[in-house]
Amino acid sequence: MNSGIDLQGTFIESLMDLGLPLGAAKAIWMPLPMLLMIIGATVGVLVTVWLERKISAAAQQRIGPEFIGPLGVLAPVADGLKLIFKEDVIPAKSDPWLFTLGPVIVVIPVFLSYLIVPFGQNLIVSNVGMGVFLWIALSSVTPIGLLMSGYASNNKYSLLGGLRAAAQSISYEIPLALAVLAIAMMSNSLSTVDIVDQQSGYGILGWNIWRQPIGFLIFWIAALAECERLPFDLPEAEEELVAGYQTEYSGMKFALFYLGSYINLVLSALLVAILYLGGWEFPIPLDAIAGWLNVSPTNPVFQVVTASLGITMTLLKAYFLVFTAILLRWTVPRVRIDQLLDLGWKFLLPISLVNLLLTAALKISFPAFFGG
């Protein structure tokens, strides 16, 4: 089970060789992956923002950012710097405490959810048994922050935007959870590592997308709605609500919302990659390649290659999904609020229930293919 490199173990061992007690070594290790994850998530957001601008430009036959750094890669950094240096305006008639707390509550759960994103057998911040369930629970906290900021702005557009955002997340949480439940039922576990392990062994043929095509679509649609991406970006619909709950925000607090939405997008893409596209698995099983090349799976070079390939594959799959999200953004027009709720409650919910039922039936009749 514990194949691959164990960074934590080696790190703690080397610290203990230096004469530190076990507890202190573990305490020194603990913040490292978290810090790495936060930095990684932020860099991922910068990359996503750049991609969003470049791909949007390409879809509209424009050039996009070009002069800030090579190919404009530094444009998101410049955006961020601008937002940091902007004045932090708190409207006079607003509620300053809730106004400040709102964006924080929106961002923290999203960052926390990165705990469960694995990039390899041991490349995960914490392999919690709850896994995906933790993500669903955390993402359900976000609407509170949105409602808070919408209410505290003391602005009708903000309040409407906040209410819409909350209604949207609540309605799409259910199909999302049901889609995840079907996956959990197949892999007998909620842990993300176990879910990927269950897909491994047959390369691209073993991925869950072949066994759960409906679930994949439901999950991706619901995830887009949770991220408030374009077909479902009603809470921020410019034409009706100015900018929804973000209307009164500027500077760093706006940056938190912005960061939160893009981190959420990357996170959803990563989770789709993990749940449906085999996570860190290469399309051809790597053990088979090792067998053809006569390399033993315990070879250190092979393990390093496997680990880096795993990270690359996860990121590649996630960014492919981000790409489709951006493409969808310029293809599909925004839905109305009643259409949105119709889609959530009258289409996705029954379909996901049927999908769950079907999965259960198939699991009982073909335990070999659908997880015993």
| Interface residue list for other proteins (CB under 8 A) | 23-24, 26-27, 55, 57-63, 98, 128-130, 133-134, 136-138, 140-141, 143-144, 147-148, 150-151, 159, 162-163, 166-167, 170, 173, 189-191, 324, 327-328, 330-332, 347
Gap between the Cα atoms of 87 and 79, Å rounded? 14
The least CB distance from residue 310 to other proteins, in Å, is 24
Buried (b) or exposed (e) across 217-241, using 16+ Cβ within 10 A? bbbbbbbbbbbbbbbbbbbbbeeeb
The residue (of 116 and 274) whose beta carbon lies closer to other proteins is: 116
The residue (of 90 and 305) whose beta carbon lies closer to other proteins is: 90
CA–CA distances in Å: residue 320 to residues 155, 200, 222, 279, 305: 38, 20, 17, 13, 22
The residue (of 128 and 290) whose beta carbon lies closer to other proteins is: 128
Token duo for residue 226:
């949770």
Cβ-based neighbours of 39, under 8 Å, separated by 6 or more = none
The least CB distance from residue 355 to other proteins, in Å, is 13
The least CB distance from residue 347 to other proteins, in Å, is 7
The least CB distance from residue 147 to other proteins, in Å, is 5
Gap between the Cα atoms of 123 and 5, Å rounded? 9
Angle between helices 96-113 and 251-276 (to 10 degrees): 30
- In degrees, to the nearest 5, what angle opens at C-alpha 253 toward C-alphas 64 and 229? 50
Among residues 157, 139, 174, 151, which one has the least CA distance to residue 234?
157
The least CB distance from residue 43 to other proteins, in Å, is 24
Residue 220 identity (one-letter amino acid): W
The residue (of 80 and 162) whose beta carbon lies closer to other proteins is: 162
The residue (of 34 and 144) whose beta carbon lies closer to other proteins is: 144
The residue (of 304 and 354) whose beta carbon lies closer to other proteins is: 354
Q: Are 222 and 349 in contact (CB under 8 A)?
A: no
Q: Are 320 and 278 in contact (CB under 8 A)?
A: no
Q: How far apart are the first and last CA of the chain?
A: 18
Cβ-based neighbours of 160, under 8 Å, separated by 6 or more = 150, 241, 244
Token duo for residue 173:
């949480």
The residue (of 130 and 309) whose beta carbon lies closer to other proteins is: 130
Cβ-based neighbours of 253, under 8 Å, separated by 6 or more = 88, 99, 100, 102, 103
The residue (of 173 and 248) whose beta carbon lies closer to other proteins is: 173
The least CB distance from residue 173 to other proteins, in Å, is 7
Gap between the Cα atoms of 50 and 27, Å rounded? 36
The residue (of 4 and 162) whose beta carbon lies closer to other proteins is: 162
